[in-house]
């Protein structure tokens, strides 16, 4: 009996395996941003309390999403084995379990904002296939059991069951291989992206607008200092979405609605045909700890958001624009930051190429001076002109602040923590930022001594971070160095430590190293 039970469990695993993988495969073709498994994962992320989320991030770091998906896989496997055993014990019992969990999957799909009717095809297909395969295998297994109990020769029944199981295994392996192929290429969107030809920025007058070109002296020759322009591959990434949203530029559009004179909509080709500008803008994440690396600078190509808002005509009384992503993420940006003349962009290009898929392809927002969570919506699909009193954005309903001006800050890149450097002249270097205010000066100090002015590189613009360097004469021993930025509004980077939540970290980056 126990050997039969093992065969029953294996039948369950094969049936559910083919169903689930087949469902993911179907979703990849029909509705790539919502697959049943990713929908379940995203739904879990949405419903777990913030405390659990923080715990998961603390334990698993950026592997948290992989751990979640792994957990889901284990759960499905356990369920599949159990469904096989149950079905063998009692007709329909296992199929009922499979259908029940399929229904949960469909419910998860329903909870995804980017779902459409075709998104349900995958979970329905998955359940149908799993139920049919389970039924067929368990029937064959029972026939084998009956034949051996009946005392006659059980060989033909046994052979039929084993053929069924091997067939199912082959199908499972083939679907698995196909699914991996689809996943690894993320084919459609990658192809569409490489087919995009970005236009050059519209011609500008002379002198070139601030931030459009890198002036001489903007890059300091210091070994180990942060690059002035962050390579796209190294650019930090923050997504609430479990899988990167897949958006076909041909079907992309951005709608402006809410407190406007007329609703307007713009498509991707239309956007590319407009006079685009190119600016070096430093993005920062509100979660960046002091000395952290959740900040980066890119050359963004895009159309000023204020132009699009002007087409729609903003009505009096509005003070916020709620931008929405295809994945449901929202950001609430003070209207002023989009209309006051700064280079807030509907960006299509990053460092000379179409936006990388992870950074919002085909279109995202980039707003100088504000943390990403209130402004930098990737895969943006809708702008709703509204009021802070009437609407709240994704993170503002989760304990983070409503407005997010970037705090003036700096970090020390060299020497590295724990480095050993020779006594004498020691070069200290790093970057400082005060987006949309501009960095006025950077000061450094050693072992809590007096602040000394560092040499500041030529700024690219007020929206771009600035490298700095200082040469300090240091004697042997353990040393700590700190930096602080001063902005053009007279603001000084604060010394007291403040945690990132709810509106950005504060404090001085302190690096300890050894002078020998």
Ligand X SMILES: Nc1nc2c(c(=O)[nH]1)N[C@H]1C(S)=C(S)[C@@H](COP(=O)(O)O)O[C@H]1N2
Residues that bind Mo ion (CB under 5 A): 238, 285, 372-373
Does 236 participate in binding ligand X (rule CB under 6 A)?
yes
Does 382 participate in binding ligand X (rule CB under 6 A)?
no
Among 65, 306, 359, 469, which residue sits at the site for ligand X (rule: CB under 6 A)?
Answer: 359
Crossing angle of helices 93-110 and 64-89, in 10° steps, is 150
User: Residue 445: which residues within 8 A CB-CB, separation 6 or more?
Assistant: 451, 452, 481, 482
Crossing angle of helices 36-47 and 64-89, in 10° steps, is 110
Does 238 participate in binding ligand X (rule CB under 6 A)?
yes
Does 353 participate in binding ligand X (rule CB under 6 A)?
no
Binding segment for ligand X (CB under 6 A), chosen from 62-70, 188-196, 229-237, 405-413, is: 229-237
H/E segment holding residue 290: none
Give the other-Cβ count within 10 Å of 267's Cβ: 14
- CA 388 to CA 402: how far, in whole Å? 8
Among 64, 219, 239, 506, which residue sits at the site for ligand X (rule: CB under 6 A)?
Answer: 239
- CA 453 to CA 194: how far, in whole Å? 46
144 binds, among ligand X, Mo ion, none (CB under 5 to 8 A by kind): none
Tokens for 330, please give them: 């929202």
Among 112, 193, 279, 378, which residue sits at the site for ligand X (rule: CB under 6 A)?
Answer: 378
Backbone angles phi, psi at 458, to 5 degrees: -60, 125
CB of 430 to ligand X, least distance (A): 20
- CA 400 to CA 332: how far, in whole Å? 12
271 binds, among Mo ion, ligand X, none (CB under 5 to 8 A by kind): none
CB of 359 to ligand X, least distance (A): 4
Does 327 participate in binding ligand X (rule CB under 6 A)?
yes
Binding segment for ligand X (CB under 6 A), chosen from 120-128, 210-218, 234-242, 429-437, is: 234-242
228 binds, among ligand X, Mo ion, none (CB under 5 to 8 A by kind): none
Widest Cα–Cα separation across the chain:
97
The 3-class SS string of 329-351 reads: CEEEEEHHHHHCCCCCEEEEEEC
329 binds, among Mo ion, ligand X, none (CB under 5 to 8 A by kind): ligand X
Q: How far is CA 201 from the centre of its chain?
A: 27
Q: Which of residues 240-259 bind ligand X (CB under 6 A)?
A: 240
Does 384 participate in binding ligand X (rule CB under 6 A)?
no
Tokens for 315, please give them: 């009505």
CB of 94 to ligand X, least distance (A): 39
Q: Which residue is nearest to ligand X (CB)?
A: 372
Does 235 participate in binding ligand X (rule CB under 6 A)?
yes
- CA 94 to CA 5: how far, in whole Å? 13
379 binds, among Mo ion, ligand X, none (CB under 5 to 8 A by kind): ligand X
237 binds, among ligand X, Mo ion, none (CB under 5 to 8 A by kind): ligand X
Task: Assess contact for 56 and 63: CB atoms under 8 A.
Answer: no
Which residues of this protein are in contact with ligand X, per CB under 6 A? 235-240, 283, 285, 325, 327, 329, 359, 372-373, 376-379
């Amino acid at each position: 009996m126990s050997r039969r039970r093992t065969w029953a469990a294996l039948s369950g695993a094969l049936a559910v395996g083919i169903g689930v993988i087949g469902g993911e495969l179907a979703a990849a073709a029909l509705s790539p941003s919502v697959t049943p498994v990713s929908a379940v994962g995203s739904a879990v992320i949405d419903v777990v309390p913030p405390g659990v989320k923080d715990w998961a991030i603390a334990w698993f770091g950026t592997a948290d999403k992989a751990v979640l998906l792994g957990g889901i896989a284990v759960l499905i496997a356990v369920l599949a084995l159990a469904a096989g055993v149950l079905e063998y014990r009692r007709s329909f019992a296992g199929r009922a379990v499979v259908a029940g969990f399929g229904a949960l999957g469909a419910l998860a799909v329903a909870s995804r904002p980017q779902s459409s009717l075709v998104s349900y095809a995958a979970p329905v297909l998955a359940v149908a296939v799993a139920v049919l395969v389970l039924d067929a295998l368990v029937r064959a297994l029972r026939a084998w059991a009956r034949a051996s109990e009946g005392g006659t020769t059980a060989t033909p029944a046994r052979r039929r069951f084993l053929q069924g199981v091997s067939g199912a295994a082959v199908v499972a392996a083939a679907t698995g291989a196909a699914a991996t192929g689809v996943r690894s290429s993320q084919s459609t969107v990658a192809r569409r992206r490489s087919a995009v030809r970005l236009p050059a920025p519209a011609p500008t007058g002379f002198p070139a607008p601030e931030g459009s070109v890198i002036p001489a002296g903007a890059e300091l020759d210091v070994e180990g200092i942060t690059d002035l322009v962050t390579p796209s591959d190294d650019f930090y990434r923050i997504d609430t979405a479990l899988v990167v949203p897949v958006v076909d530029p041909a079907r992309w559009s951005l709608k402006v609605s809410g407190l406007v004179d007329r609703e307007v909509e713009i498509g991707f080709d239309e956007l590319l045909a407009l006079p685009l500008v190119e600016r070096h803008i430093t993005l920062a994440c509100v979660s960046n700890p002091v000395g952290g690396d959740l900040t980066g600078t890119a050359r963004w190509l895009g159309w000023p958001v204020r132009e699009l808002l002007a087409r729609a005509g903003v009505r009096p009384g509005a003070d916020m624009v709620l931008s929405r992503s295809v994945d449901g993420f929202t950001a609430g940006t003070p209207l002023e930051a989009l209309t006051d003349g700064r280079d807030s962009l509907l960006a299509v290009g990053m460092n000379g190429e179409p936006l990388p898929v992870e950074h919002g392809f085909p279109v995202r927002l980039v707003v100088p001076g504000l943390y990403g969570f209130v402004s930098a919506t990737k895969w943006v699909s809708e702008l709703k002109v509204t009021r802070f009193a009437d609407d709240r954005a994704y993170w503002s309903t989760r304990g983070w602040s409503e407005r997010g001006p970037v705090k003036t800050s700096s970090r020390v890149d060299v020497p590295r923590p724990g480095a050993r450097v020779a006594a004498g002249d020691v070069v200290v270097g790093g970057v400082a930022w005060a987006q949309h205010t501009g960095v006025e000066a950077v000061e450094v100090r050693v072992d809590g001594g007096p602040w000394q002015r560092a040499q500041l590189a030529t700024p690219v613009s007020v929206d771009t971070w600035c490298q700095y360097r200082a040469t300090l004469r240091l004697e042997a021993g353990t040393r700590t160095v700190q930096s602080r930025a001063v902005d053009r509004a007279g603001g000084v980077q604060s010394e007291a430590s403040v945690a990132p939540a709810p509106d950005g970290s504060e404090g001085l980056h302190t690096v300890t190293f050894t002078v020998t």
